[in-house]
Chains A and B, each alone.
Chain A
Amino acid sequence: MNKNKLLIKLENVGKIYRNGQIVYEALHDVNLEIMEGELVVILGPSGSGKSTLLNLIGGLDAATGGAIHFGGEDITGFSDRKLGQFRAKDVGIIFQFYNLVPSLTAYENVDLMRDLGVEIMDPLEALGMVGLADKKNHFPSQMSGGQQQRIAIARAIAKRPRLLLCDEPTGALDTNTGRDVLKLLQDQSRVQGRTVVMVTHNALFAEIADKVIMVKNGTVAEVVVNDAPKDALELNW
């Protein structure tokens, strides 16, 4: 994967929330670029706008200003339906609380991606990649948090998306499990050449990133390129 090839570009992006009389500017004048295969960590304190930024990049929300380009295509004006198709094809999402469907087994949660109408890898292969092929018939409630997050990663990577978005993927996990999850995500970037964008408030994670985007008060305060990212297994918190 060519890490010099631009995948995502944000130009003067803003997001304003309106609730009756209350107007809240969550993001303003955000400009950034993310290359293919990069592992990007978005850091910032609570309420800084990092999750909003992640939502805009992944097409889970629409910007109220500026332009977002993905693979050279302007997705800013996409309708809800077209954004859905974009997410189905190009984006894998990993949530802090896993968001697995509780009434489906591990295998079925991954196989569910087939229903998006996109080509996916064999769910067993995806489960094998996260080391949980033997848990294929387990329901989420029968697994630990770490295992559930790994299933969520298998679900996200099964459709071979160009972009993996992770919203506090270790937020609900203990250190050891969190480290394993980070390793899996880092491998997606390093081995599979997939772009991974991760939102976290844990500054330590910056050490494994190729690029760190610091968000503060609704705007990008700093972008740091990490020339020698650490291996995720070396992290300790």
Chain B
Amino acid sequence: MTKNFVIKLIRDLKANFVQFLAIFVMCFFAMFMMESFDSIVSGLGNSTDEYLRDTNFMDMNISSAGFSREDLQTVKSIPAVKDAEFRYTTNGKVRLNGEELKLEFNFIESNNISRMIVSKGIPFERDTQGIWIDRYFSERQGIELGEKLTLICDGVEFDETVVGIIENPDHMYFMIDSTYIEPDVGAYGYAFLDSGEYPGGELRFDRIYVDIENVTNQFELTEAEKKETEDLKLVIKDKFSGLDVECVSKKDDEGHDSLHTDLDSDEILGIVFPSLFISIALLGIVSTMTRLVLKQRTIIGTFKALGFSSEVVFIHYIAYSVIVCVLGCVLGAVAGWYTLGTYIFAIMKLYYCNPYDRMEVSSNVVLMILAVALMSAGTNYMSCRKLLSLRASEILRPAPPVMSGAGFIEKTFIWKKLSFATRWNIRDINRNRVRTVAGILGVTLCTALMFTAFGMDELNKGVRDWKYNRLTPSNYQIGFAYGTDYNTVYDYCMRYKGQMLQTIETDVMKDDQKRLYYVNVVDKGNLLRFQDPDGNFMELPNDGIAACSRVMEELGVENGDIITFRLPGVKKYFKGKVYSVYKVPSEQGIAMKRSYFESIEGEFRPNVVYTNMTVPKKFVTERPEIISVFSKEEYIRSMKLKSASTEQEVYYVMVIAVLLGIVVMYNLGILSFVEKVREVATLKVLGFSSGNIRWILNQQNLIVDGLGTLFGLLLGKKILVFTMENVDYSSDFIYKVSIVPYLLAFMVSFVLSGVVNSVISSRVKSINMVEALKGVE
């Protein structure tokens, strides 16, 4: 494009500032949201992949009370196994400044699988004395290389010198025990030592880490790799049928799974909202450019008459929105990176320890910007194509008026009974169907966006009340150590007037489908309640199992189907018929009454007691059978903290949705009004009062805004459900939103568009009749 065309373009952009600002703003927000999430998803995804690759993160972790050297050989001899190594992991303490802090000890013989990265000190070598200690713990507690530490492991106190400061991929998302609901990085730590340094008697390795031959990916596994892992699980369980072994595959590892879930959630938010913004932006581009091209018909005709080729004119007009879109997208991406993206990244860093972590600009963002540019070029091309296909002399003639026949309604008796305003509006809508549809679509998309944002906010906040007031209304929850006998738990239950629950995460199967879910066996009581998908309280079935909606959906289960599960330490497979469906916000799984579980020969071994009485926190440190005591307030506080970034994201969306709504509605309103100026001037000339004319215009606006708002609320509900269903596979919601999001979306959308249109229609008063009638061809 030559200098003069560039100058014309810049001045035209200034002259149509509001319209192009609307396009800019929409593209800006679309890429703002996309880059905010994508920088995290791709940055953390790739950096985690690199971290796990560099450290050869384990493909499977087999645990048991103790393995022999023959067991290790057995694992190594399986053809699918590339390598395997021992590990003994136990929690102990380190004495620092007179205080005992929790430390996880890992005794190893080799460091090939899930190996530690040494940031300071010497690398691990067999038979080396000393301790390699976690970087975050050493930084927070001020532990230096070469420092002698007093340690307590399996009841034995001993000293070791720090020979290395390290990071380890198994501890990417690390909570040392059940006293923590979320990671508190550096408050506790982990350490690696050579197995020869074990201070107790004979060391019994309790874990075998496995590197699988055909599993090469680390963070994103292929279906073949997942199958290879599951197949190996079966082989191992078969080989160790005499032992109580538990196999945790890489994808089920807590850190791996948690990060995956978080990134999946960000990914879906990074798709849904930008898609909506881009749709609205494209609508804005079509509306603005169609009108701009029509407005510049004479100029386009002149260009052609002067001898400019159609290509030159095409490029010039395509450049308008392409430049605005690309500028909006690029600036939006930059702003998204430095604001919301950086904020989410900071929150993620509170939970995940990854030495490679970073934000990243992915090719998705570049492709999206290119796609937006292409789409805007395409819509501009379509706007100009028809005009430029004409000969110069035809373009220079004024466009013929839009013709439309009498609509159906005009042939009915009702027509004569309608007021002039209604008839004028029906004919105007009939003649300008595209404009009307664009108006409705604009309001629809904005309303849908606002409803989704308000709805997400309500559902997210509602989860706390749902989980901790409606489903588990108890004030305290006591967690018991694995293996605590029934009578001990029962005693606590009686003393604290509580309700017992046996809950364990294990494989649940239907036919050949298998996934990790929580299996819950519930004793009598009213401190643990269940709700059906509509939110009604329900009783667990007497003769079968209740499965939560997620399980039904993911395993393809229907009422009456048989599902199978196995509990750790129990060789038997339990089978049960699904009789009812329930919904829970987290810890998806199946539930049954204790009486039913016992009827299928299950041994009830509760590990949780719910109570409304106050339970002292000190039980955790004083009583070995108790591993956690949490109050409702603690859970709610932790949940608030964990959902802080999500809430922040939703706030951004809400603010953007409202701003976008204002811009889009103003843009569509002003464009629609400009098209009617001549007719309005004619009505004024004929003697209609400004008030009368405003009523005519507002009547049409009312119809467009009303329909748009209605469709928007319906579409918004669909988008909300889709987003929430896909945002986190471990979460679920009862998609019953209160009247509030509806009202808010309605208020902002309908009232806002009403106000905007009212402001625009107030210009009727100031229309210069002579100029308006002269100026329009």
Which residues in A have some Cβ–Cβ distance to B below 8 Å? Answer: 52, 55, 58, 60-62, 80-81, 84-89, 91, 93, 95, 97, 99, 101-104, 108, 111-116, 155
In the bound complex, residues from chain A placing their C-beta under 8 Å from that of B301 are 99
Which single residue of chain A is at the shortest CB-CB distance from B1? A115
| Contact (Cβ within 8 A) B393 A55 | yes
**Bound complex: CA A103 to CA B393 (Å):** 22
B537 interface residue (CB < 8 Å to A) = no
Closest Cβ–Cβ distance, residue B294 to chain A (whole Å): 15
B2 interface residue (CB < 8 Å to A) = yes
A-B pairs, top 7 by smallest CB distance, nearest first, are: A88-B307, A103-B11, A87-B307, A61-B393, A55-B393, A99-B302, A60-B393
A-B contact pairs, 11 of them (CB 8 A): A52-B393, A60-B393, A61-B393, A80-B391, A104-B7, A108-B7, A112-B5, A114-B4, A115-B4, A116-B307, A155-B306
Query: Which of B11, B298, B306 makes the CB contact (< 8 A) with A104?
Result: B11
| Contact (Cβ within 8 A) A116 B393 | no
| Contact (Cβ within 8 A) A101 B299 | yes
Given A103-B12, A111-B4, A115-B5, is A95 in contact with B392 using a C-beta cutoff of 8 Å?
no
Closest Cβ–Cβ distance, residue A66 to chain B (whole Å): 17
Closest Cβ–Cβ distance, residue A39 to chain B (whole Å): 21
Given A60-B393, A61-B392, A104-B7, is A99 in contact with B307 using a C-beta cutoff of 8 Å?
no
| Contact (Cβ within 8 A) B4 A91 | no
Given A60-B392, A61-B392, A103-B15, is A89 in contact with B4 using a C-beta cutoff of 8 Å?
no
In the bound complex, residues from chain B placing their C-beta under 8 Å from that of A62 are 391
| Contact (Cβ within 8 A) B306 A87 | yes
In the bound complex, residues from chain A placing their C-beta under 8 Å from that of B12 are 103
Which B272-322 residues sit within 8 Å CB-CB of chain A?
Answer: 298-299, 301-302, 304-310, 312
**Bound complex: CA A84 to CA B312 (Å):** 12
**Bound complex: CA A125 to CA B393 (Å):** 29
Query: Which of A80, A93, A97, A115 makes the CB contact (< 8 A) with B305?
Result: A93
| Contact (Cβ within 8 A) B392 A89 | no
Interface of A (DSSP majority class): helix
Which residues in B have some Cβ–Cβ distance to A below 8 Å? Answer: 2-5, 7-8, 11-12, 15, 298-299, 301-302, 304-310, 312, 391-394, 396
Closest Cβ–Cβ distance, residue A192 to chain B (whole Å): 19
Given A55-B393, A108-B7, is A87 in contact with B305 using a C-beta cutoff of 8 Å?
yes
**Bound complex: CA A107 to CA B93 (Å):** 84
**Bound complex: CA A112 to CA B312 (Å):** 12
Closest Cβ–Cβ distance, residue B300 to chain A (whole Å): 10
Given A61-B392, A103-B15, A115-B2, is A84 in contact with B308 using a C-beta cutoff of 8 Å?
yes
| Contact (Cβ within 8 A) A104 B308 | no
In the bound complex, residues from chain B placing their C-beta under 8 Å from that of A116 are 306-308
**Bound complex: CA A113 to CA B299 (Å):** 14
Which single residue of chain B is at the shortest CB-CB distance from A116? B307
In the bound complex, residues from chain A placing their C-beta under 8 Å from that of B304 are 84
Given A101-B299, A112-B4, is A61 in contact with B391 using a C-beta cutoff of 8 Å?
yes
| Contact (Cβ within 8 A) B299 A89 | no
**Bound complex: CA A113 to CA B306 (Å):** 8
**Bound complex: CA A102 to CA B299 (Å):** 9
With a 10 A CB-CB cut-off, give which of B3, B11, B301, B302 has the most chain A CB atoms.
B302
In the bound complex, residues from chain B placing their C-beta under 8 Å from that of A113 are 306
| Contact (Cβ within 8 A) B307 A104 | no
**Bound complex: CA A91 to CA B4 (Å):** 21
Given A108-B7, A112-B4, is A101 in contact with B302 using a C-beta cutoff of 8 Å?
yes
**Bound complex: CA A91 to CA B2 (Å):** 21
Closest Cβ–Cβ distance, residue A71 to chain B (whole Å): 16
In the bound complex, residues from chain B placing their C-beta under 8 Å from that of A101 are 8, 299, 302
Query: Which of B5, B299, B308 makes the CB contact (< 8 A) with A99?
Result: B299
With a 10 A CB-CB cut-off, give which of B2, B11, B301, B392 has the most chain A CB atoms.
B392
Closest Cβ–Cβ distance, residue B397 to chain A (whole Å): 9
**Bound complex: CA A176 to CA B579 (Å):** 98
Which single residue of chain B is at the shortest CB-CB distance from A104? B8
Closest Cβ–Cβ distance, residue B16 to chain A (whole Å): 10
Given A60-B393, A61-B393, A103-B12, is A108 in contact with B4 using a C-beta cutoff of 8 Å?
yes
With a 10 A CB-CB cut-off, give which of A95, A102, A112 has the most chain B CB atoms.
A112
In the bound complex, residues from chain B placing their C-beta under 8 Å from that of A103 are 7-8, 11-12, 15
| Contact (Cβ within 8 A) A99 B11 | no
In the bound complex, residues from chain B placing their C-beta under 8 Å from that of A60 are 305, 391-393, 396
In the bound complex, residues from chain A placing their C-beta under 8 Å from that of B5 are 112, 115
**Bound complex: CA A116 to CA B305 (Å):** 11
Closest Cβ–Cβ distance, residue B649 to chain A (whole Å): 41
Which single residue of chain A is at the shortest CB-CB distance from B392? A60
Closest Cβ–Cβ distance, residue A18 to chain B (whole Å): 12
In the bound complex, residues from chain B placing their C-beta under 8 Å from that of A99 are 298-299, 301-302, 305, 396
**Bound complex: CA A80 to CA B8 (Å):** 25
In the bound complex, residues from chain B placing their C-beta under 8 Å from that of A95 are 302, 305, 396
| Contact (Cβ within 8 A) A93 B391 | no
With a 10 A CB-CB cut-off, give which of A62, A99, A104, A115 has the most chain B CB atoms.
A115
**Bound complex: CA A55 to CA B304 (Å):** 12
**Bound complex: CA A42 to CA B392 (Å):** 20
Closest Cβ–Cβ distance, residue B314 to chain A (whole Å): 13
Other contacts beyond A84-B310, A87-B392, A104-B7: 7, CB < 8 A: A85-B307, A86-B307, A87-B306, A104-B4, A112-B4, A112-B306, A116-B307
| Contact (Cβ within 8 A) B307 A84 | yes
